[in-house]
Structure 1
């Protein structure tokens, strides 16, 4: 009887631990981005975003928290963040979100989106001399100039990064090439023309660019099937 009771309690603990898993804090690096959630989720959502896109920043504020809490946390939905690179600023920000271990990505991504209203006006009002520095052939120097002019170093410092670590990430030419190639391939393969855009199980959701629209699409796929006879 005691052994049976012990086995029962052990089984209950396993079940409890399984139900308590918070998939929203699980991050896996992928060939083209980072996946947040259960890698084996039935519904695989992908966000195609640009850091210089105001609509993407709005989605990060209004949609991402609900998406993770309601849909990703349970393990039924995963979300992969993939980059649509529109300009050198986008590329620099994307390289910094990838800086460090994969489990740092989600917060790196969020902080660049949530602080967009602070750094993007600086970019809009940049001088011709600044823009010239951002386009020099030495790509690492160009990324450093962008990071300096737009206060990216200060943003990364709030995430616990030293300047030397940031510079190493900005000089990662292999990562730069990988991000550029993935962005181009996704744009051509899916015909993406605006951001944010979304796919579910690798199928583009036409006309879906806001959280309200995406939520409807997710609810259609996650609601329980009706019981027989109903």
Structure 2
């Protein structure tokens, strides 16, 4: 897995003359692209990631746990969230059969900024903002350069009811950005994540699937 880049605090100054993170708007796999916004792998191990909130939907005691690793700049992730995810949520998450955990992947600066916006108002609004980010992915991710893209992400935050002052504070939080990427690295290394979207179903890695295949896999776990 690629090593994380150095200089997080300077790199994540996204408003005040920053926009210095390296990356691509069209990522494919983790190993092909540099990470953003964190210290080296050795330094990242010193970051306290216990402050990062796990974003969860569904019953805490659900018999099946599904973890998704996804990037906000990944078209396949957007497709999953507009299709199979909605059916899975209605049939399994909302009915208490599946606990769903969403974990962000950071291929590039744009995905990191999107994550800072999604998390800006806390867990209560996280999944709603994530839906807006995925729905508008083709618009905001292609808005132009970094200033235009971050402006589009601000619009999504305002649409979700976040005030400008709070949005700027979230985007300028270099410590949070560093911690998020370190947290992601820990989880991705533990679960062997190499591409997005990737899924862990009751501890077992499964590939991106259509709804019918996911349904069969989940039903097998429920019947097991």
With normalisation by structure 2, the TM-score equals 0.71
**Shift in Å, 1:222:** 2.4
- Residue number in structure 2 paired with 1:18: none
* Residues 160-214 of structure 1 deviation map (CA, whole Å, 9 limit, x = unaligned): 1121110111122332122101221222222211111100223212x33544432
Judge conservation of contact 2:117–2:154 (CA < 8 Å) in 1.
Answer: no
- Residue number in structure 1 paired with 2:115: 94
Larger radius of gyration: 1
- Residue number in structure 1 paired with 2:214: 214
- Residue number in structure 2 paired with 1:108: 129
With normalisation by structure 1, the TM-score equals 0.69
**1:18-57 aligned within 5 A:** 31=52, 33-57=54-78
- Kindly report structure 1 stretches of 4+ aligned residues shifted beyond 6 Å: none
In 1, Cα distance between equivalents of 2:77 and 2:195: 10
Q: Which has the higher helix share?
A: 1
* Residues 127-165 of structure 1 deviation map (CA, whole Å, 9 limit, x = unaligned): xxx4xxx5xxxxxxxxx77412xx111111111112111
- Residue number in structure 2 paired with 1:14: none
- Could you tell me which runs of 5 or more consecutive residues in structure 1 were left unpaired when the two chains were aligned: 1-28, 135-143, 226-230
In 1, Cα distance between equivalents of 2:141 and 2:209: 21
Judge conservation of contact 1:59–1:211 (CA < 8 Å) in 2.
Answer: no
- Residue number in structure 1 paired with 2:150: 147
- Could you tell me which runs of 5 or more consecutive residues in structure 2 were left unpaired when the two chains were aligned: 1-49
In 2, Cα distance between equivalents of 1:210 and 1:91: 27
Judge conservation of contact 2:117–2:170 (CA < 8 Å) in 1.
Answer: yes
In 1, Cα distance between equivalents of 2:174 and 2:141: 24
| SS at 1:121 equivalent | coil
Aligned-residue RMSD, C-alpha? 2.2
**1:184-203 aligned within 5 A:** 184-203=185-204
Number of corresponding residues: 175
- Residue number in structure 1 paired with 2:81: 60
Task: Determine which structure has greater relative contact order: mean sequence separation of CA pairs < 8 Å that are 6+ residues apart, divided by chain length.
Answer: 2
